[in-house]
Chain A
């Protein structure tokens, strides 16, 4: 379901991206999650850069890389609204 993962770091970014706990930690953190991940990065500092990259994807900071075409954007929106109204 995903692209061929070519490097070690890509693999780690991918693993952060599919980790529910990590997603919640980035988007909607609880004190428990913050503690858990602070500890994790404390003992695995080498994963920090992969996590930063994953974080920027989850926050939508690099949306210019693969933009959704305007026509597609409208089409999906139309389909959704047609189904819920």
Chain B
């Protein structure tokens, strides 16, 4: 069913591209340009993401800014068309089914099951390898959504509700099993379920800190820097640093002490 929809949509996409290129006769005669436009829009159509590589290449063909601007407008129109076509074609049927389902039509609900169960199973399979658990959860989620049909307002809502409910159900069930199996949660090798954005914020902060520290270290004299790196980063003892740097104990202490004063004065 899904592959049929995709093929169907792709035919319309090709028609859309052809129509648009026909309206821009000048550009359509440029084979390279045509290739890049098709690549760009196809990528956008399938993934709903913009692949700027063909876009940039296409822009290089144009000598003037005006031409580039026309091309950019063209691309925008094509993206909008692609989006519109996807929405109208694939969703009319499910929207109709959804309305019937909201009115309590069991046949429509059964058809919605047919449309979504494979997608849902495949999604769940990425979250758990326990296929029995997965099948039980899918069953529960469909029963739950039938009982909650009055709370949903569109078929898109129906689909995201299915996905999110399944994910939550799988989480709950595995939590229950962990509880029953007496294994501490900390001992499980799980991926943090924190928002992916938080990881990146943390990573970003670390990068900023590292850059800040390395900028600070650059203001030290080479010997101060070496002594401080040995002491704070490599965590060597004063005695080791004395022999590495061929200095006596008091000189090393003074060197590190003066270096730290310098760092503090800059950092504050």
Interface residues of A (CB under 8 A from B): 1-5, 11-20, 23-24, 26-28, 40-41, 44, 47-48, 51-52, 55-63, 65-68, 72-73, 76-77, 79-81, 83-85
Interface residues of B (CB under 8 A from A): 2, 6, 46-49, 106, 109-110, 113-114, 116-119, 121-123, 125-130, 135, 138-139, 142-143, 146-147, 154, 156-157, 159-160, 163-164, 167, 170-171, 173-174, 189-191, 193-197, 199-200
Interface on chain B toward A: helix, strand, loop, or mixed SS? helix
In the bound complex, what is the Cα–Cα distance between A4 and B190 (angstroms)?
Answer: 8
Contact B118 A67 (CB under 8 A): yes
- Sample of 13 more A-B contacts, CB < 8 Å, known A48-B49, A79-B139: A16-B196, A18-B171, A27-B156, A44-B200, A57-B123, A58-B119, A60-B116, A63-B118, A63-B119, A67-B118, A68-B121, A73-B117, A77-B114
> Known: A15-B196, A52-B47. Is A27-B123 also a contact (CB below 8 A)?
no
Contact A23 B196 (CB under 8 A): no
Say which residue of B125, B138, B171 sits within 8 Å of A66 (CB atoms): B125
**Closest chain A CB from B50 CB (angstroms):** 10
Contact B6 A61 (CB under 8 A): yes
